[in-house]
Amino acid sequence: MATTAQAQTVPCPTCQAKPNHPCTQPTNTGRSAVGWVHHARATSVDRQAGYFLTFGIQYNTEPHPTWPECNPKGWIRINAPTYEEARNIAIEWFGLDWSMLTPSVHFNPKFFPAGELMVLP
């Protein structure tokens, strides 16, 4: 999930805060800024950046059951609006023979020197 700072780079679908402005909540006299961001705003960031699918290191030495080109030193980027939809795409393509599905904001490419193997869908 996106951090507060990352989520604040996009407009908030819930409270209509503008980019780089804090989320607000209604009060009796108007709206006041809050120190957190609405869930929809963080989800919006994740949706734009996609999810990263990686594979277990056993596929360095053994063939992947459904994808001969599998390389655990790289990743597949999945463009989907939610984690659940990204996971469904991963399962559609690879069954359960993958390791991690990571939102882009938490993905560190330095551990995957082979880079991007494919983009789905």
* Interacting residues with Zn ion (CB under 5 A): 12, 14-15, 17, 23, 38
CB of 104 to Zn ion, least distance (A): 21
Q: Where are the alpha helices (DSSP H) in 35-104?
A: 39-49, 83-94
User: What is the nearest approach in angstroms of Zn ion to the Cβ of residue 41?
Assistant: 5
Of the two residues 15 and 45, which places its CB atom closer to Zn ion in the complex? 15
Would you state the structure tokens that stand for residue 83, as one six-digit string? 């984690």
Closer residue to Zn ion, CB minimum distance, 4 or 99:
4
Min separation Cβ 52 and Zn ion, Å? 26
Label residue 5 exposed, middle or buried (CB < 10 Å: 0-12, 13-18, 19+).
exposed
C-beta of 17 vs 86, nearer to Zn ion: 17
8-state DSSP, 81? S
For residues 80 and 68, the answer to whether their CB atoms sit within 8 Å is no
CB closer to Zn ion out of 34 and 57: 34
Q: How many CB atoms lie within 10 A of CB 103?
A: 19
Give min distance, CB of 82 to Zn ion, in A. 18
